[in-house]
Amino acid sequence: MKALCWYSKEDVRVENVPDPKIINSDDAIIKITSTAICGSDLHLYDALVPTLAPGDILGHEFMGEVVETGKDVKNLKTGDRVIVPFVIACGQCWFCKKGLWSVCDNSNPNAWMVDKMYGYSGAGLFGFGHYAGGFAGGQAEYARVPFADFGPLVIPDHLPDDKVLFLTDIFPTGYMAAENCDIEPGDVIAVWGCGPVGQFAIKSAYMLGAERVIAIDRVPERLKMAQEEGKAEVLNYEEVNVVEALREMTGGRGPDACIDAVGMEAHGVNPDAIYDKVKQSLRLETDRAVALREMIQACRKAGTISVPGVYAMVIDKFPFGSAFDKGLNFKMGQTHVQRYTKKLLDRIEKGDIDPSFVITHHLKLEEAPKGYRKFRDKKDNCIKIVLKPGE
């Protein structure tokens, strides 16, 4: 089959690789009809996430048709059309039973790598580094899905791929980011980053009852989408001092919660942004935290910082003293996708939201390398790319 393989920084190629096979009796094989490129893939593309090996297949937002199931799979059958959460989870362990799917105890065969660095490992993930299990991803014609009874969700035929594909990641991710803000009536939520995750965080904050959402970015078409589709008020961080502007817009109090939909590759205009860039390029720091520092400054006292943006290792100059003194709450992590898929599918079916609004490009799988560059460099008004294997 054809698949998008990672080789090194900015070097990804579509190659012929062996088809995946059933390995365990609870696996399924999916023929992929749609698969997207995510901001998390960009951290891999930019070689900022450790433990990828040349030839690894990327991609963790994918859906398609079940073409084979292991003998112990009960909830799926050949021919089912499914979305596949990017988090691989066993459904049986203490964490899965509590709905904490992204920290499943059983799905990462390389947990030992992470235990040393982090204390404990999170779940296995499709198409990430070997620290997350080294599972082949879904930017391919086929994928093997482990624990197939506890991830894939069957999709009714009348809903097209573009409407449901993002149940695999970015819709639940934006939703959990907003849920983590514990929104109360009258709340003002500020969202840093108007990429795909930020767009879903904006929509979800309103779905969960926010009175106002203020969105921050510098890319004009992303700010426009936040404003027109998301109904957010917007700030361009290259034009205004974000902390001062937010203070003014909230009567001096600051937003009730701040969502970091940027992650470890934040850029910025303040001196700390230059400091981060230099240190990261010298490999003296792994994560650039410009947006996160700004949030700690801007958030109201006893407010919440919700972090769906991915961080990999260590941050310098993290103002923990101000966070402490202001009594801030922090919530973060890879999304517990399985917790939200059914509930959000219902919202799509009811017509409360059509997640396809975020798609700007459909490309063939063969065009994926060009797509990565376009999405990373924010060229050609690119906000979200869907790849169509087999077309």
Ligand X SMILES: NC(=O)c1ccc[n+]([C@@H]2O[C@H](COP(=O)([O-])OP(=O)(O)OC[C@H]3O[C@@H](n4cnc5c(N)ncnc54)[C@H](O)[C@@H]3O)[C@@H](O)[C@H]2O)c1
Q: What angle do CA 201, 203, 209 make, to 5 degrees?
A: 100
Nearest by Cα to 176 from 293, 342, 374, 332: 332
194 binds, among ligand X, Zn ion, none (CB under 5 to 8 A by kind): ligand X
261 or 292: whose CB is closer to Zn ion? 261
From CA 187, how far away is CA 53, in angstroms rounded? 45
The one among 34, 35, 40, 102 contacting Zn ion by CB under 5 A: 40
Instruction: Give the position of tokens 């969202």.
Output: 191
The one among 5, 30, 38, 63 contacting Zn ion by CB under 5 A: 38
Reported as type and span, the H/E element at residue 342 is helix 341-349
Q: What is the DSSP string of 357-379?
A: GG--EEEEGGGHHHHHHHHHHT-
27 binds, among ligand X, Zn ion, none (CB under 5 to 8 A by kind): none
The one among 93, 312, 332, 363 contacting Zn ion by CB under 5 A: 93
Is residue 96 part of the contact set for Zn ion (CB under 5 A)? yes
Is residue 292 part of the contact set for Zn ion (CB under 5 A)? no
39 or 230: whose CB is closer to ligand X? 39
Question: Which amino acid, one-letter code, is at 331?
Answer: K
143 or 190: whose CB is closer to ligand X? 190
Residues within the interface to ligand X (CB under 6 A): 38-40, 42-43, 169-170, 173, 192-198, 216-219, 222, 237, 261-263, 266-268, 290-291, 308-310, 334-335
90 binds, among Zn ion, ligand X, none (CB under 5 to 8 A by kind): Zn ion
From CA 190, how far away is CA 97, in angstroms rounded? 32
104 binds, among ligand X, Zn ion, none (CB under 5 to 8 A by kind): Zn ion
88 or 170: whose CB is closer to ligand X? 170
Furthest CA-CA distance within the chain: 61
Is 197 within 8 Å of 308 (Cβ atoms)? yes
From CA 169, how far away is CA 62, in angstroms rounded? 9
The one among 90, 145, 337, 348 contacting Zn ion by CB under 5 A: 90
From CA 90, how far away is CA 112, in angstroms rounded? 18
The one among 169, 256, 260, 265 contacting Zn ion by CB under 5 A: 169
Cα dihedral sign for 273, 279, 284, 287? positive
217 binds, among Zn ion, ligand X, none (CB under 5 to 8 A by kind): ligand X
Question: Which amino acid, one-letter code, is at 161?
Answer: D
- Structure-token pair, residue 13: 């190629």
CB of 171 to Zn ion, least distance (A): 11
Helix, strand, coil: what percent of the chain each, to 5?
35, 20, 45
192 binds, among ligand X, Zn ion, none (CB under 5 to 8 A by kind): ligand X
From CA 345, how far away is CA 175, in angstroms rounded? 12
Total Cβ atoms within 10 A of residue 10: 12
CB of 309 to ligand X, least distance (A): 4
263 binds, among ligand X, Zn ion, none (CB under 5 to 8 A by kind): ligand X
Is 170 within 8 Å of 148 (Cβ atoms)? no
CB of 352 to Zn ion, least distance (A): 22
Is residue 149 part of the contact set for Zn ion (CB under 5 A)? no
70 or 268: whose CB is closer to ligand X? 268
30 binds, among Zn ion, ligand X, none (CB under 5 to 8 A by kind): none
List contacts with Zn ion (CB under 5 A).
38, 40, 89-90, 93, 96, 104, 106, 169
